[in-house]
């Protein structure tokens, strides 16, 4: 049973470019969560999605960041006009409905130059 998959694992972007991070949940999981871990900091919640629905985006920065989880395909976290402060590890997690046990993917390390 494949775990949570994320790609790319490493992403380098210049300031002002767009970053797209993808997450495929575990088989049977329909809930997806995105977290960010800045260098030397803890894991911070960003957004919680179900298929075609954003449940909680209280942790998303107000500008430049968006997330979706379409009916078909992976969940996408999109960062427009990246800045150096966006450099971080972005982790996706998934769970089954009714459970708060979340399983994490390997993360995408974003570096903004």
59 counts as binding other proteins under rule CB under 8 A:
yes
Q: How many residues bind other proteins, per CB under 8 A?
A: 26
Give the span between the Cα atoms of 44 and 59, in whole angstroms: 8
What mask of x and - would describe binding to other proteins in positions 74 to 93, judged by CB under 8 A?
A: ---------------x-x-x
Using alpha carbons only, how large is the chain's radius of gyration in Å? 13
CB of 32 to other proteins, least distance (A): 10
DSSP state letters, 39-73: TTS-EEEEEEEETTEEEE-TTS-SSSEEEE--SSS
Give the span between the Cα atoms of 80 and 20, in whole angstroms: 9
CB of 86 to other proteins, least distance (A): 17
Q: Name the residues that contact other proteins, by CB under 8 A.
A: 31, 33, 35, 37, 41-45, 48, 55-56, 58-59, 89, 91, 93, 95, 100-107
């Amino acid at each position: 049973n494949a775990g949570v998959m994320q790609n790319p694992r490493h992403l380098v972007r210049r300031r002002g470019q767009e970053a797209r991070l993808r997450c495929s949940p575990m088989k049977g999981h329909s809930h997806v969560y995105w977290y960010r871990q800045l260098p030397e900091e803890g894991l911070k919640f960003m957004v919680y999605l179900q298929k075609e629905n954003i449940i909680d985006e209280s942790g998303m920065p107000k500008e430049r960041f968006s997330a979706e989880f379409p009916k078909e395909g992976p969940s996408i976290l999109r960062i427009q006009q990246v800045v150096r402060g966006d450099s971080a590890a972005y982790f996706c997690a998934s769970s089954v409905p009714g459970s708060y046990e979340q399983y994490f993917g390997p993360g995408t390390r974003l570096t903004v130059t």
